[in-house]
Every structure is written in C-alpha cells, then in structure tokens.
Amino acid sequence: MSEHKTIDVAATQMLDRAKEIGFLTTFDRAKAQEPRCTFGNTGICCRICLQGPCRILPKKPGGNKGICGAADYTIVARNTVRYIAGGAAAHSDHGRHIAETLLHVAEGKLHDYKVTDPDKLVRVAKRIGVETEGRDVMAITKDVASAALAEFGRVDETQELTWINAYTDEKRLDLWRKTTIMPSGINLSLAQLLHQTHVGTDSDPVNIIFGGLKAALCDIDGQHLATDLSDILFGTGVPVVTEANLGAIKADKVNIALHGHNPLLSQMVVNAAKEMQDEAKAAGATGINLVGICCTGNEVLMREGVAIATNFATQELAVMTGAMDAMVVDVQCIMPSLRSAAECFHTKIVTTMPIMKIPGSYHFAFDEHNAINSAKEIIRLAIEAYKNRDASKVSIPEIKNTVVAGFSLESILNIFGKINPENPIRVLVDAIEAGEIKGIASLIGCNNLKGTHDQNHTAIAIELAKNDVFLLAGGCSAQAHALAGMMNGEAVKKYAGEGLKKFFARLNAAAGLTTELPLMFHTGSCVDYSRQQDLVNMLAKEMGVENHEVPYVVSAPEAMSEKAVAIGSWNVAYGNPTHVGVIAPTVGSQLVNDVVTKIAEDVFGGFFFWEPDALKASERLVEIIEERNWKNAMRK
Ligand code: NFS
Ligand code: SF4
C-alpha cells in the first residue's frame, strides 16, 4: 500500500514527514542494505577468529570449509548459538539488575523502592523453597533476592537452576537432564558456550546446539526471575484501559517517551511525573504525558496504563512528530539513530545506564540510591526541552486506538476464576475440550524490516482468531496489535470465530470488568514470556498431558533480536512449535536446519519453522494445534 513498508497509517504519515525534512529512517537504511550477502544471510560466514571472515565456497578446491577446517554445519551452529548467548545475557543481566535492587531494598539500602506486592513475594518464596511461615516481609525478600542472585554465580555443576526447576514439570526437567542441557549457573553456561564456540573447540553441530539450548534455559530462568521480582517491586499487572499509536503524543503536554526494557528507571519516572504536573504547567504546558516504546513501554503499560507510542521499527518516528520533548532510554532495542532524529528537532535523548550510551546524546547516570530524584531531574530536562519546542514543526498523526492490557498470569487466572473459582485453569481446558476454542497461540517478538512492518503480526492474529485460537501476546508483537486497534473488545467482534466469540462472551459476562476483554491478552514485555509458559505448564497439568502435547503454538512473525533467538530456542526445548517469519540463518547447513526444524521435534516435541507468508504460517499453526487435539483425543 505504501512505498514505506509499514501497514501503520500513523507511521506512514511520519515517514512522509521524515522525507520532507530529509531524515533517512531505518526504512531507508533497510533498503540500502539490499541485496544482502548470501553467505551472511544463510549463516555460512564465520568471523569467530581473525583469520576470517571465512565463507563456504563449495565449488572451490579447499573452499568447502573455513581455514581452520570448520564445515558449514559447525559455522552455522556456532553462529546460531552465539545469538542465544547474546540474548540470554541481555535478559538475565536485566534480571540480575532487578534482583540486586530487591536485595538492596531488603537490606534497607534503597528508599525509593519497596515491596509493592507482598502476596506475590510469598507465592514466589514458597515456589522456590524459601521459608515464609512467621517471617517478616524483609527477611523473605532478602532470601528471594539472594536466591535469584545465586542463579548467576553458581559454578557447582551438580546443582541446578532454581527458577526453572520450581516452575517446570518433572518429566520435562528429566528430559533436559538426559539431554545434558540443564544449566547450573547462568554465568557459567554463557561463558561455557562462548568457550565451546571458540576457534578449535567444538565442531560437532549437535553438541553445539545442545550447548545453545542450555544457554536458552538460562534465558528463561533469567526472564522468569526478572518478571517475578519486578512484580514484587512494582506490582503485578491487572487489566487496564489505555491507548496506542502516535496520536497518544499530546501537543499541549510535555511528552516523555520511556523506551528500552528495564522498569527500574521507567517506573520511577512514572512515579515522579505524578508529582510534577505543576512544574510542566509553569512551563506553559497542560501537564506531563508519558508514552512507552518497546518493552519498557510494556512494563509501564502493564502496571500503570501508560499509553503505547509505537514499537521497535518506528521508534524514530515518535521523534518526527516534533512534539517529543525527551526520550528516556535504558537498555536494548534502542536505535543509535535516535540522536540524529532528535537533531532535527528539540528532542532530548537521555541515556541512563552505564552500558548504554549514544555518542552525542545526553547521558544522565541513573542512581537507584537516589531514584526518585534522578527521575525528577530527567523530567526537568524534558520540561526545559519543551520550552524550546518549535510549534511550527509539530505534526502528530491523529491516530490512536483503545487498548485493554495488563494480563499477568494472576489476572488471567483471576478472570477464569470468576467462572470456576476452585480451578480457574479448568475454564480454558473446558473450552478446548468442548471445541469452543481450538487451542492457544502466543504472538511474540520484534519488528524486522525484511518484511513489511507489522503486517504479518496482524495478519496472523486475524487468521488464528478466525480459527478460534485463543491469543496471548507480548513484546513488540503485542504493540503491533495495539497500534492496529486489535487489542480491544471491538476486535473480538470483528475477527474472532464463532467459538472464540462464545468463549469471550462467557468470560465477559463473568469478569465484571468495566470494559470488554480484548482479542489478545497482553502478558507484558518480552522478559515476561515466562507468564505464557507458566500458563502452558498449568494447562498441561490440568489436561493430563505433557508440555509438548498441549494445543499451543508460538509465532514470532518478525523476530529480529538475539533475545528472540534465545526465546525461540527455550520454547522449542519446552516442546512448543515455534514459527519464525523470517528465514533463519541456519539454512546454510542442511544438517543444522534439519536439527532445529525436524529432529528437535523427536527430542523435545517442539521445533522451529520458517515461513514468511502470513497465510501459510497461520494454516500451519492451526494444523499443528488440530493435530495435537486429535492426538489427545486418540489417547483418551
Ligand atoms: Ni523483545 Fe522488547 Fe521489541 Fe524485539 Fe526488542 S523491544 S524485548 S527484542 S524489538 S520484541
Ligand atoms: Fe575461519 Fe575457522 Fe576462524 Fe571461523 S574459526 S574465521 S572458519 S578460521
């Protein structure tokens, strides 16, 4: 529909605006990268040592291997698992930061953070085996935070990670033990994987992939503790109504975008903003308006109802509105080009973390010991910037959609519990067994400009909904649905199949919310995907089947980041069929590609498949769900 490769109308308007002012966006840069190098695209380029880059040139004598003798399968396997290492490092380091903060709260060293959800604290403590009876909140907090931190430094290989052990069923754990992918410590596994893939260490592709899966289990472990501890610190999400798209940026307010991933800072900005409306008014605005981008946006959406401005691929376009006064960023998925985008306007890009700086942008070292004051100073920077805003340059697309979000596992079960208080998860199982819904799909992952921005996210959601698949969503995928107006009750009427509509009608009648439930339940940021897996684990138990028998699929139509590779990989290890909408750089080795798309199913029950076509992908996803249902019926 547009030369711009996005389905988002607001984004299209802003891309025209970028063109007018001569700013080259990520969409232009994506075009400039074409055509891609086939070696890199298929994964057969190795740069692991300084003799490289080595490419696989099968027709040249001596060219069918790297200089060291590494074959295509070794090169492809090593490249793939190094993505996992990067992703798991990012997720778990985020988790470690939260754990450290929680420990410091327990030790009385931090005053701007507190235990907001003591019930969750107790639930998590019980789950991981921390004594709760007769103990005070801070003592429990200290033990829970210490248990989380212990996940990182553990080097005793006779021990196992606490979190995945506590949340995963015994059969699956045994399978991981048997396949030697059960990790002991996060740092250890990640270091071992880098060692394993060093020049001249492992050349066995299957062994390398198993090393990668071990790291992927560290990823879910780090994710799970990040979610649990964030909920303890900031509260567990409950359904909220808000809005999404660039129209959520307000011309008459000081606009601050919260972008990145870590709620430690963004939550403080939310808290501080509540107290600082008058300062914004004194500067001539009508108040402060916060909007979210990427997963920090999802964090404050879940807990505070902060509106979504946009998702990953269109982050520069929030600046193009000319009304963004400051963009406060922490870590991950923040485009370095934001600074040049900001230079066209008055916008301040504020980096806040010691490991994330952008040359030429403003760095404000965030200090947890002085968190609220740090957040206030950042807001003051935005208010100052607002004073320099050029009204003639402001053009905000008048596009925004209603969003119903905030579906933590607790809030999902709470809704089901309105129908079946004794056994909430039974509600979902009954709906599956009655054929009202076919199964469940999680729509996850990033934006990837190898395709059209947001197109496949929405197309797949529509197809699955039509086929009565109950949808969960997270990360930038959830934001795609929110931006497109699909995360509300209207979308159920428009897109859900008859069975799914009936299911929603029953839920709506019981839920007692002031709004209708949305077409997909937004479980939060990518670091929160353990909420989805926990639901699947509960389903398996209630259905009396194993994880890989649950009618459940995962789809990441625009997977992009290393984190996405790690997430996809633990999904496969859990037994989940995982669709990826871009052709993965494993295709350069038939062997490795077969291992992850076929053999994985024999071992774990989960597997990857690559399918850039939304309709074909949806058909396959529905088929997989139906096949699992059919097998479950046969077993009875
Ligand atoms: Ni997930 Fe969230 Fe978005 Fe991808 Fe990046 S923000 S952590 S990695 S791009 S979904
Ligand atoms: Fe080439 Fe081997 Fe070095 Fe890779 S590790 S760059 S294949 S010599």
| Residues 337 and 475 reside in one and the same domain | no
Instruction: Say which DSSP state 110 is in.
Output: -
| Residues 129 and 7 reside in one and the same domain | no
Ligand nearest, relative to CA of residue 49: 2
Contacts of 544 (CB under 8 A, 6+ apart): none
- Find the mean pLDDT for residues 389-418: 98
Domain boundary among 332, 366, 393: 393
For ligand 2, whether the C-beta of 52 sits within 6 Å is yes
| Residues 521 and 566 reside in one and the same domain | yes
Show the tokens assigned to 155. 């080097």
What is the rounded CA–CA span in Å between residue 449 and residue 427?
39
83 in a domain, yes or no?
yes
Cα(585) to ligand 2 centroid in Å equals 17
Contact (Cβ atoms closer than 8 angstroms) between residue 416 and residue 425: yes
Cα(306) to ligand 1 centroid in Å equals 18
For ligand 2, whether the C-beta of 68 sits within 6 Å is yes
Cα(283) to ligand 1 centroid in Å equals 34
490 in a domain, yes or no?
yes
| Residues 212 and 357 reside in one and the same domain | no
Ligand 1 atom closest to 559 (CA) = 4
What is the rounded CA–CA span in Å between residue 405 and residue 475?
12
Contacts of 545 (CB under 8 A, 6+ apart): 632, 635
What would you report as the CA-atom Rg of the chain, rounded to the nearest whole angstrom?
24
pLDDT in tens, 405-461: 999 999 999 999 999 999 999 999 999 999 999 999 999 999 999 999 999 999 999
Contact (Cβ atoms closer than 8 angstroms) between residue 420 and residue 271: no
For ligand 1, whether the C-beta of 262 sits within 6 Å is no
567 in a domain, yes or no?
yes
62 in a domain, yes or no?
no
To the nearest 10 degrees (0 to 180), the angle between helices 72-106 and 186-196 is: 160
Measured between its terminal Cα atoms, the distance across the chain in Å is 49
Q: What type of residue is 619? A: E
Q: Over 70: is that where the pLDDT of 560 sits? A: yes
Ligand nearest, relative to CA of residue 56: 2
Ligand nearest, relative to CA of residue 66: 2
Domain boundary among 343, 361, 393: 393
- Find the mean pLDDT for residues 232-248: 98
Q: Over 70: is that where the pLDDT of 17 sits? A: yes
pLDDT on residue 636: 80
Scanning the structure block, which residue is given the tokens 């880059």? 53
| Residues 504 and 546 reside in one and the same domain | yes
pLDDT on residue 176: 98
Check residue 360 and give left, alpha or beta (phi > 0: left; psi -120 to 50: alpha).
Answer: left
Residue whose CA is at the smallest distance from ligand 2 atom 6: 52
For ligand 2, whether the C-beta of 72 sits within 6 Å is no
| Residues 289 and 158 reside in one and the same domain | no
508 pLDDT tier (thresholds 50, 70, 90): very high
pLDDT on residue 515: 96
For ligand 1, whether the C-beta of 526 sits within 6 Å is yes
**Residue 44 — φ and ψ, nearest 5°?**
-105, 35
- Find the mean pLDDT for residues 585-613: 98
Ligand nearest, relative to CA of residue 86: 1
Cα(53) to ligand 2 centroid in Å equals 7
| Residues 421 and 526 reside in one and the same domain | yes
| Residues 470 and 593 reside in one and the same domain | yes
For ligand 2, whether the C-beta of 505 sits within 6 Å is no
| Residues 229 and 253 reside in one and the same domain | no
337 in a domain, yes or no?
yes
For ligand 1, whether the C-beta of 341 sits within 6 Å is no
The closest alpha carbon to 382, from 239, 487, 279, belongs to 279
pLDDT on residue 474: 98
CATH of the domain at 445: 3.40.50.2030
What is the rounded CA–CA span in Å between residue 430 and residue 437?
9
CA distances to 198, 219, 534 from 181, in Å = 19, 13, 20
CA distances to 50, 173, 258, 331, 528 from 376, in Å = 47, 46, 14, 20, 27
ipTM given for this complex: 0.93
Cα(296) to ligand 1 centroid in Å equals 10
What is the rounded CA–CA span in Å between residue 232 and residue 408?
13
239 in a domain, yes or no?
no
pLDDT on residue 330: 97
Contact (Cβ atoms closer than 8 angstroms) between residue 152 and residue 92: yes
Cα(443) to ligand 1 centroid in Å equals 12
Residue 24's domain comprises 2-55
| Residues 578 and 615 reside in one and the same domain | yes
Ligand 2 atom closest to 70 (CA) = 7
Number of domains, the chain: 4
Cα(499) to ligand 1 centroid in Å equals 32
Residue whose CA is at the smallest distance from ligand 1 atom 2: 295
Ligand nearest, relative to CA of residue 567: 1
Q: Give the DSSP H/E element, type plus range, for residue 258.
A: strand 254-259
Domain boundary among 373, 393, 413: 393
457 in a domain, yes or no?
yes
pLDDT on residue 603: 98
Hey, what's the torsion of the CAs at 488, 489, 490, 495, to 10 degrees? 90
Q: Over 80: is that where the pLDDT of 191 sits? A: yes
The closest alpha carbon to 218, from 181, 249, 262, belongs to 181
pLDDT on residue 377: 96
Q: Over 60: is that where the pLDDT of 1 sits? A: no
622 in a domain, yes or no?
yes
Scanning the structure block, which residue is given the tokens 């992939």? 209
Cα(243) to ligand 1 centroid in Å equals 20
For ligand 1, whether the C-beta of 333 sits within 6 Å is yes
464 pLDDT tier (thresholds 50, 70, 90): very high
Task: Tell me the pTM.
Answer: 0.97
| Residues 368 and 485 reside in one and the same domain | no
| Residues 311 and 173 reside in one and the same domain | no
CATH of the domain at 92: 1.20.1270.30
pLDDT on residue 24: 97
pLDDT on residue 396: 98
Ligand 2 atom closest to 47 (CA) = 6
Ligand nearest, relative to CA of residue 44: 2
Ligand 2 atom closest to 53 (CA) = 6
Sort 492 into a burial class: Cβ within 10 Å, 0-12 / 13-18 / 19+: buried
